Amino acid sequence: MAPTSSEDTHYQYLVIGGGSGGVASARRASKYGAKTLLIEGKALGGTCVNVGCVPKKVMWSASDTAKRIREARAYGFDVDRELANTFDWVGFKAKRDAYILRLNGIYERNLAKEGVTYVAGWAKFVDKKTVEVALNNPVDGQKTKRFTADHILVATGGAPKIPDGIPGAEHGITSDGFFSLETQPKKVAIVGAGYIGVELAGVFHGLGTETHLFIRGETVLRSFDEVIQNTITDTYIKHGVNIHKLSKTFANVEKLENGQLKISYEDISGPNQTIVVDTLIWTIGRKPLGEFLNLEVPGIKTDEKGQVIVDEYQNTSVPNIYSVGDIIGSVELTPVAIAAGRKLSNRLFGPEQFKNDKLDYTNVPSVIFSHPEAGSIGLSEAAAKKQFGEENVKVYQSKFISMYYAPLDPEDKDPTVYKIVVTGPEEKVVGLHLVGDASAEILQGFGAAIKMGATKADFDNVVAIHPTSAEEIVTMT
């Protein structure tokens, strides 16, 4: 609810964007006693809660359940494998959407509990200290309202891109549109080799959709270590995902009378290829959401991609205006935005001990909810050799089949591959790369160890937990 008296339009802290970073920073500032306003035009929680990691993980869990159904017979259960292809998309979507709606309400209640004023609307800068909000719910006919603040945080996040220059590209959807699909496509084309495309491909295939993944190179996940790239690519092909390698050009996308899409493309098989699908999803990257903020009015500098330029303390080029999250394009992960937002509020409004608080963007763990899962922290083998010199880098690697797959037929067994990258005579661990079931959970603990400066000897000195896959990380030779 927007404040009604003119005396209430000035705040110590004004946050534009109700995603993870903005909400975390606003709540922390208010906890310190700062009079705080948060402005959000869509749904509280931002990309992660509404069209990102949270509903994605719910869908991944459904797909993983289908996988377990297919494997149940090997464990002695009289279960027909085909039951895995009877997924109720419509009913499950309703449950998933209801869960997200509950989270939206929890976010709003938490803001109120912390004393943060929440205004639903779209903000833009009027000057360095003032923003104007187009209210979603006009009050007494008032469609806009202006607010001033001592400190302003820009945390508006990003949005998925649709490619330019491809006739009919608008007939495709993005990852946002994936969560709006009312029914399950029988045949889907996904374009992009990054983690979003890989995750969606795994979800669709696991739930029984014929899945085609178009990638520009020979492997998926090109920003990760080669062991992740190669293992996930090979495993997806083994599972039956149709990966179109060297797919560098799409001639056009045509919408047919029956609603299907005919795609003309070139891939490793050559030019002039065509495919007809029910749904086309672009996962070719994201763009910062700043074009409607009038960033040029206060003089906030951006780079050629439109990302807000900040220093190590999240300061923009304008004093008392800051930015965190996907709009700065540093490490586009929800926990990173949360940590950066909280540390910023610590510095601005917290006790003296936090006057230099800032986020360290190195050694941030990240995972891919593929099938199987993958996780990574630190440097890839190639990056480590480039930074430290090939002669100063050593690699430990192990590949095996986890005990879970013991009763399964060979074609149903997924690999587990772990790689440790170390440098220097003390063998400091500078990279850890995991592929295999539960990699996301395993990586969290080892991520803490690597952040603390662990060496290979520290790993070796930990008594293994047997029988687990994770024990391989502390017994690797």
Token pair for 311: 């220093």
pLDDT of residue 1: 43
**Mean pLDDT, range 368-385, rounded to an integer:** 98
% of the chain surpassing 90 pLDDT: 97
**pLDDT of 394 higher than 70:** yes
**pLDDT recorded at residue 443:** 98
The catalytic position among 10, 171, 244, 466 is 466
Q: Is 285 known to sit in a ligand binding site? A: yes
157 marked as part of a ligand binding site: no
Answer yes or no: are the C-beta atoms of 102 and 110 closer than 8 Å: no
CA distance 175 to 369: 15
Q: Is 114 annotated as a binding residue?
A: no
Contact 123, 113 (CB under 8 A): no
Q: 326 a known binding residue?
A: yes
Q: What is the pLDDT of residues 71-89, one digit of tens each?
A: 999 999 999 999 999 999 9
- Percentage helix, strand, coil for the chain under 3-state DSSP, each rounded to 5: 35, 30, 35
Q: How far apart are CA 21 and CA 160, in angstroms?
A: 18
**Which pLDDT score is estimated for 149?**
98
The confidence band for 7, taking pLDDT boundaries of 50, 70 and 90, is low
Task: Specify the pLDDT at position 248.
Answer: 85
Residue 413 assigned as binding residue: no
Q: What is the pLDDT of residue 2?
A: 45
For residue 225, pLDDT beyond 50: yes
The C-alpha angle with vertex 111 and arms to 108 and 116, in degrees rounded to 5, equals 130
Specify the pTM.
Answer: 0.96
Q: Could you give all domains of the chain from N- to C-terminal order, each with its CATH number?
A: 6-49+96-159+287-354 (3.50.50.60), 162-284 (3.50.50.60), 372-475 (3.30.390.30)
| pLDDT for the residue numbered 6 | 52
Residues 8-18 have pLDDT tens digits of 899 999 999 99
**Residue 3: pLDDT over 50:** no
Annotated active-site residue 466? The verdict is yes
Burial of 446 (0-12, 13-18, 19+ CB in 10 A): buried
Judge whether 276 is annotated as a binding position. no
- For the chain, what percent of residues have pLDDT higher than 70? 99
| 192 is annotated as contributing to ligand binding | yes
Mean pLDDT of 103-122: 97
Q: CB 86: neighbour CB atoms within 10 A?
A: 11
360 marked among binding-site residues: no
Residue 95 CB coordination number (10 Å):
11
Q: Is 198 annotated as a binding residue?
A: yes
Contact residues for 310 (Cβ-Cβ < 8 A; gap 6+): 316, 322, 323, 324, 328
Mean pLDDT of the chain: 96
